[in-house]
Chains A and B, each alone.
Chain A
Amino acid sequence: MVLAGCSRSCGVLAFLTLTLGASAIGCTGMVSQENSGGGGEGGAGGDGFVPEVPIDPSSNPPKVDASDECKGVSRMGPAPMRRLTNLEYANTLRDLLNRSDGRDLVATFPLEGAGHGFDNNANTSSIPKLRTQKMFEATRRATDAFDPVKELKCPATAVTEACVRDFITAFGTRAYRRPPTTEEGAVLLKLYNGLGAEFSVKEKLDTVVQSMLLSPQFNFMAEVGDASLPSKEAGYVSVSAFELATRLSYFIWGTMPDAELFAAAQSKELLQTSVIQAQVKRMFGDPRTRESVRNFADQWTEQDRLTRIKDANVFPSWNELVANDLRAETTKFIEKSVLDARDGWKHLMTGRSGFVTARTAPIYGVDVPSGNASGGLSEVTLPETRPGFMTRAGFLAGFAQAKYPSPIQRGTFVRRELLCQELGTPPPGAESQAPPPTPAGATNRQIKTAHSQMPACKACHQLIDPPGFALESYDAIGRYSLTEKTESGQTAMVDTTGTLLDTDVDGDFKDAGELVSMLARSAKAQACVATQWFRYARARLEVPEDECAIADLASAFNASGGDFAALFSALATSDGFRFRPATTN
């Protein structure tokens, strides 16, 4: 990690200092070989993007150029192997076995871990033993609803070995997301032939299919690269065309490649930058992208927090259905920012669209319009007090406790997930020190932050707490109010003022609206959102040597006026997406 320009005793660590040209770079001295291909190869610097709407300077951070120190620096980075996540597993079986839905198959799987980053993070992506057992059971159920006999190119009554071999190649190419090797094909044919006369053709083919579905080839995204393709940098090899198709489809769709991607991989045309760009554009308009973006949004904003309880005495109207509706709204709002709003960044940070149901409209004090409902949600324009995703009730209720909002959780989100600053852990003993007592009638802000004034706590909490204070006018289920009922029963005014420190948009704010406008103008925040997509697309957290690669993405995103299509295209055509270390870590 590179230490940020600020080095307070809190020790805030941040990536992406390059976009601000602020600090010494940590990735000098790397092997560098200038790209000898045509301009625009590698996706750096936002070449070739023309914003489809004029950039509104009031809601896009100022243009920042990647520092000179990135010239000639590698953009590759590591590429550890990962497995299919539960959702990807379900989606892949849906597409592979022509099911309407695959989620029933993973209902009994162990939940994904709650580590840092996204659930596809390769570093925590082993297959626990219980999941192996569950996969065994799931593959049996999955093959029950799939008839491989219908896939044969010969009549079921006259099945020749050649016919079985063709099936293995055709189905195997889709299951392994590349043609099976000769050896793999032979093992599967041997399995088929080894089952005796007591087994029907269907039983034998089912067994072959189940064997493929339980294989590491299917369950892991193992890459070996294609050494026959030109390399760009010592120590790195191009991923194969099939591996690239797989990377693209799991990044953008969360499932296996479709026939068109497979065809582009087979012909190797997919290796051309212009073909990747065309595929990204095509995939962007596909419904599968919507689901994948919602999955990103759900994890980024930690909406699983909405499954936690709220105090029934304080919020009698709260229940699981309300929570689900709010969760759907948060992800729908971000989906709209990414896929439908051409000025996506502006919409994400300041847009006022809301997606309500009869259950959630009262939280916003709006009426449910008749008509224009999509997926049970009706789109409305919310009041001025609701700019951007951080003022959606699902976000606010998630980062809150059972009775009271949590300025610390909300502030921590801003620091860690919107500014990509790592705060480090509290110093030893900080947690066990008793805070100064607060008098009866103290407000939530006073109680929650009594300890923040203690020397051991202050260094970090002066950074964490203020952005949370700005959101203090939204209660624990996301309702807007300028007063609160204190623990001792009095009514008190909430205090939403504060000072934002240690960002590129430091200053005082008086409420959420002002804080959100400041963050919308923050190049650090915009680069952080690009970083979140990097984590999702590359299925790992960034490492110091990714700094220049991420600076490229941030710069492409900024130059496009905050258009997520441009960000996706820059990611998909970047060096790190097309090459991998020649030896697996």
Chain B
Amino acid sequence: MSFKGYVPVRKGSSISRRSLLRGAGGVSLALPFLEAMEGKAFAAPPQRFILVYHSQGMFMDEWQPKLKAGGAPTKTEYAADEYDMNSLSADLAPYKDDLLFLTGLDNKITPGGNAHEVVFNYLLTGKKATGQGFFQAGGPSIDQVISTKIYGSATPRSRILHLGPNSSWHVCYSAKNSPVSRESNPTELVKNLFMGVSTGGPSMPDPLVEKERMRNKRMLDAVKESGDALRAKLGGDDKKRVEAYLTDLSELSNGLSAPVLASASCGKPTVNGNSAYDPRSSDLSSVAAMALACDLTRVITLDFGGPDGNMRNYMKRPDGKALPGDGTDWHQDVVHRAWQRPGEFGGTVENIAEAKMNFRAAAKYMQGTFANLIGKIKSVREADGSSLLDHTAILYVNEFGEETHGFKNYPFMIAGKAGGALRPGRWLRHNGTSHQRLLLSMLATYMPTTDPTFTSFGEPEWNVGGPLANLG
């Protein structure tokens, strides 16, 4: 009987370097033996990519790294020991050496109409919208393209785990005008995604489960076969749409039988029975870390959403006051107001100061949430004993930059080394550089320079100069 769909190693048989060194009653093993064993047992860990999306802009002066006293203010690159974390990014301090900060990058698309709509269409696709309105993006988003590089061209719509609220808003697209939906329920997710993984690691096959797998496979093959007959009768976009659906079904079918290359840390994550999406709970970062550790996916997008009345359940303001609760219009009364001048849209000196205080508290808290995610990823051991963060890039993207709904000076940062392509522990300062060039750099991280699509992501007019220099 084949153990198709099951992890070839069980917990205990994949031993980390440290436990091996520690093992055998303190008897240290000769290193050549260890290297040889590792060389045989473990392939090099694959590259991973996580995209974190956060809404509503940032007070850049309070977020970007703060130069230490006496630091030269005009350099374009600083090493980590030249700066400290700022007030809003204070919680990122433990990961200062894991982070590459980038400031001075602008979103170059022409503002007009609803700023959210423009961003939803352009920010992660780098493409001008195909029409007026929401979700008219001109192409796939960066996570999709990176995924094709990681998985290879055979799986054009590869397995990407999209985590986020089940809402009608989208920033990621699988193709032109095709927004992708997000998995929002951590409990469901653990049930379905980690089907073959038990709490203690990958489980042994169960004959009943195996029978079910076979039934599903045959069933989906039949859908494909008769679906192909239908597809042949159609043309144009109708045909493409049926094709895309059949491709997804094939992947679903393959996913039911694909081998899993689990790391030593692989195990079913415990979630606290939450069925609602909440980026502030640790459930999602646990699920993300384990999904990578068990190699159930190599690309994740995680939508932090924006600040809202739920914040008060998690945190207080530094002055001890509660944040505004559920019955508050955060978008109008906090986010918009925080950048208003007195007299504008009913703003007063007092209510603007109050809004700023609330915005700061929420922004700082979410930076802490990002720090937790970095910590979770960093603590996962790969099969070769290295940290998962060494083979991962976590890109933090905000919807807006330094002004209310503004397109200038976005707060970008990347955690991790992406297999050595990135050199974190630095702050790179730009001045009005197109953010598309950063997206290109991220893509370049996952592909050889000989790849013909190396410089082709997004609108050519804003790609001038190619990938950003000096990330690695």
Question: Shortest Cβ distance from B113 into chain A, in angstroms?
Answer: 3
Report A-chain residues with C-beta under 8 Å of the C-beta of B249.
132, 214
Within the complex, the shortest CB–CB distance from B156 to chain A, in Å, comes to: 12
* Pair B234/A81 contact, Cβ less than 8 Å: yes
B218 touching A184, Cβ below 8 Å: no
Binds B, one of A247-255, A333-341, A434-442, A520-528: A434-442
Query: For residue A304, which residue of chain B has the nearest CB?
Result: B168
List, in ascending order, chain B residues with CB within 8 A of A137's CB.
192
Asked, given contacts A191-B222, A216-B227, A435-B345, whether A203 binds B329 with beta carbons under 8 Å apart, the answer is no
Write out the residue numbers on chain A whose beta carbons fall within 8 Å of the beta carbon of B405.
Answer: 431
Given the known A-B contacts A81-B234, A195-B215, are A113 and B168 also in contact in the complex, defined by CB atoms under 8 Å? yes
A517 within 8 A of B: no
Which of B180, B242, B348 has a CB less than 8 Å from the CB of A130? Answer: B180
CB proximity of A472 to chain B, nearest CB, Å: 15
B226 within 8 A of A: yes
Are B222 and A113 in contact, with the CB atoms below 8 A?
A: no
Q: Nearest Cβ in chain A — how far from B336, in angstroms? A: 11
On whether the beta carbons of B168 and A126 are closer than 8 Å, the reply is no
Cβ of B181 < 8 Å from any Cβ of A?
yes
B472 within 8 A of A: no
Q: Is the CB–CB distance between B245 and A111 below 8 Å?
A: no
Task: Report whether B211 and A310 are in contact in the complex, using a CB–CB cutoff of 8 Å.
Answer: no
- Contact (Cβ within 8 A) A309 B178: no
Q: In chain A, residues 358-417, which have Cβ atoms closer than 8 Å to a Cβ of chain B?
A: 401-403
Q: Which residue of B lies closest to A486 (CB)?
A: B346
B423 contacts chain A at the CB level, 8 A cutoff: no
Determine the residue in chain B with the shortest Cβ distance to A403: B329
The answer, among B177, B220, B342, B345, for a CB contact under 8 Å with A124, is: B177
Tell me the minimal C-beta distance from B95 to chain A in angstroms.
Answer: 30
* Pair A224/B179 contact, Cβ less than 8 Å: no
- Distance to closest chain B CB from A411 (angstroms): 16
Q: Is the CB of A184 within 8 A of B226?
A: yes
Q: Please give, as numbers and ranges, the residues of chain A lying within 8 Å of B225 by CB-CB distance.
A: 187
- Residues of chain B within 8 A of A198, CB atoms compared: 211
B111–A429 contact, CB under 8 A?
yes
Given contacts A435-B344, A437-B343, contact A211 B223 (CB under 8 A): yes
* B111 engages A431 (CB within 8 Å): yes
Stretch at the interface among A17-25, A88-96, A234-242, A420-428: A420-428
A501 to B157, CA, bound (A): 50
B320 at the interface (CB under 8 A from A): no
Known interface pairs A191-B222, A435-B344, A442-B346; A216-B166 also in contact (CB < 8 Å): no
Write out the residue numbers on chain A whose beta carbons fall within 8 Å of the beta carbon of B329: 309, 311, 401-403
Nearest-neighbor residue (CB-CB) of B330 within chain A: A309
Query: Is A108 in contact with B248, judged by CB distance below 8 angstroms?
Result: no
- In whole Å, how far is B132's beta carbon from the nearest beta carbon of chain A? 6
A432 at the interface (CB under 8 A from B): yes
Contacts of A190 in B (CB 8 A): 222
Contact of A401 among B180, B248, B332, B341 (CB under 8 A): B332
Q: A108-B188, A115-B134, A583-B235 are in contact. Are A81 and B166 (CB under 8 A)?
A: no
Neighbour of B238 across the interface among A80, A313, A432, A447, CB < 8 A = A80
Contacts A184-B226, A311-B327 hold; do A111 and B167 have CB atoms under 8 A apart?
yes
**Residue A543 at the B interface, CB < 8 A?**
no
Distance from A564 Cβ to chain B, minimum over Cβ atoms (Å) = 28
Measured CA separation A487–B403 after assembly (Å) = 24
Which residues of chain A are within 8 angstroms of B345 by Cβ–Cβ distance?
435, 447-448, 450
B110 interface hit (Cβ, 8 Å): yes
Interface residues of B in 199-223 (CB under 8 A from A): 211, 215, 218-223
A228 adjacent to chain B (CB < 8 Å): no
Query: Which chain A residues lie closer than 8 Å to B112 at the CB level?
Result: 425-428, 430-431
A-B contact count (CB 8 A): 206
Is B238 a contact of A81 with CB atoms below 8 Å? yes
B236 & A584 in contact (Cβ 8 Å cutoff): yes
User: Which residue of A is nearest B191, CB measured?
Assistant: A137
Q: Is the CB of B326 within 8 A of A309?
A: yes
**Contact among B110, B180, B242, B309 with A129 in the assembled complex (CB-CB below 8 Å):** B180
Q: Is B18 an interface residue (CB 8 A)?
A: no
Known: A184-B226, A222-B234. A312 touches B242 (CB 8 A): no
B115 lies within 8 A of A130 (CB): no
In whole angstroms, how far apart are the Cα atoms of A311 and B329 in the complex?
A: 7
From the candidates A113, A184, A310, A427, name the one contacting B179 in the complex (CB within 8 A).
A113
How distant is the Cα of A215 from the Cα of B328 in the complex, in angstroms?
45
> Given A198-B211, A438-B346, are A128 and B230 neighbors across the interface (CB < 8 Å)?
no
The answer to whether A136 touches B252 (Cβ under 8 A) is yes
Tell me, yes or no, whether B68 is within 8 Å of chain A by CB: no
Report if B392 contacts A (CB, 8 A): no
Cα distance, A426 to B112, chains bound together (Å): 6
Say if the beta carbon of B259 comes within 8 Å of chain A: no
CA gap between A198 and B132 in the complex, in Å: 55
Residues of A within 8 A of B252 (CB): 132-133, 136
Q: How far is the CB of B231 from chain A (nearest CB, A)?
A: 7
Given the interface pairs A111-B166, A312-B325, the reply to whether A224 lies near B234 with Cβ below 8 Å is yes
- Of B166, B222, B241, B244, most buried by chain A (CB within 10 Å of CB) is B222
Residues of B contacting A438 in the complex (Cβ-Cβ under 8 angstroms)? 343, 346
Q: State which of A188, A214, A424 has its C-beta within 8 Å of the C-beta of B220.
A: A214
Complex Cα spacing A248 to B45, Å: 55
B118 CB, nearest partner CB in chain A, Å: 9
Determine whether the beta carbon of B328 is less than 8 Å from that of A311: yes
With both chains docked as a complex, state the minimum distance between the C-beta of A133 and any C-beta of chain B, in angstroms: 6
Residues in A neighbouring B181, C-beta threshold 8 A: 110-111, 128-131
Task: Say whether B239 faces chain A, with CB atoms less than 8 Å apart.
Answer: yes
In the bound assembly, the distance between CA atoms of A428 and B108 in angstroms comes to: 13
Within 8 A of B (CB), among A109-162: 110-116, 123-133, 136-137
B170 at the interface (CB under 8 A from A): yes
Q: Which residues of chain B come closer than 8 Å to A123, judged between CB atoms? A: 177
**Out of A216, A310, A437, which one reaches B242, CB within 8 Å?**
A216
Verify A114–B242 contact, CB threshold 8 A: no
Chain B, range 292-349, C-beta contacts under 8 Å to A: 309, 325-329, 332-333, 341-346, 348
Q: Is the CB of A309 within 8 A of B342?
A: no
- Closest Cβ neighbor of A128 among chain B residues: B181
Query: Given A207-B215, A211-B219, A434-B341, are A183 and B170 neighbors across the interface (CB < 8 Å)?
Result: no
- Quick check: B237 and A585 within 8 Å, CB to CB? yes
Bound: A585/B180 CA distance, A:
24
A440 vs chain B, min Cβ distance (A):
8
Q: Are B346 and A110 in contact (CB under 8 A)?
A: no
Nearest CB of chain A from residue B305's CB, rounded to whole Å:
14
- Which residues of the partner chain A approach B342 to less than 8 Å between Cβ atoms? 437
Contacts of B346 in A (CB 8 A): 438, 442, 447, 487
Contact of A132 among B110, B229, B241, B248 (CB under 8 A): B248
Most buried by A among B167, B179, B182, B238: B238
| Chain A residues, Cβ within 8 Å of B167 | 111
Contacts of A181 in B (CB 8 A): 229
The reply to whether B229 and A184 form a contact with Cβ atoms under 8 Å apart is yes
B406 with A432: CB separation less than 8 A: yes
Query: Within the complex, what minimum Cβ distance (angstroms) separates A446 from chain B?
Result: 9
Complex formed: what's the CA distance from A425 to B129 in Å? 13
**Shortest beta-carbon distance from A197 to chain B in Å:** 12
- 30 example contacts (A-B, Cβ-Cβ < 8 A) are as follows A81-B241, A81-B242, A113-B135, A113-B168, A113-B170, A115-B135, A115-B136, A126-B178, A126-B241, A126-B245, A130-B181, A132-B248, A181-B229, A211-B220, A215-B226, A219-B245, A220-B238, A220-B241, A309-B326, A311-B327, A428-B110, A437-B343, A438-B343, A440-B348, A450-B344, A487-B346, A488-B348, A584-B235, A585-B235, A585-B236
Other A-B pairs beyond A81-B234, A488-B348, 7, CB < 8 Å: A115-B136, A124-B135, A136-B252, A191-B219, A194-B218, A211-B219, A216-B227
List the 5 closest A-B pairs by CB distance, nearest first: A312-B327, A437-B343, A110-B181, A425-B113, A402-B329
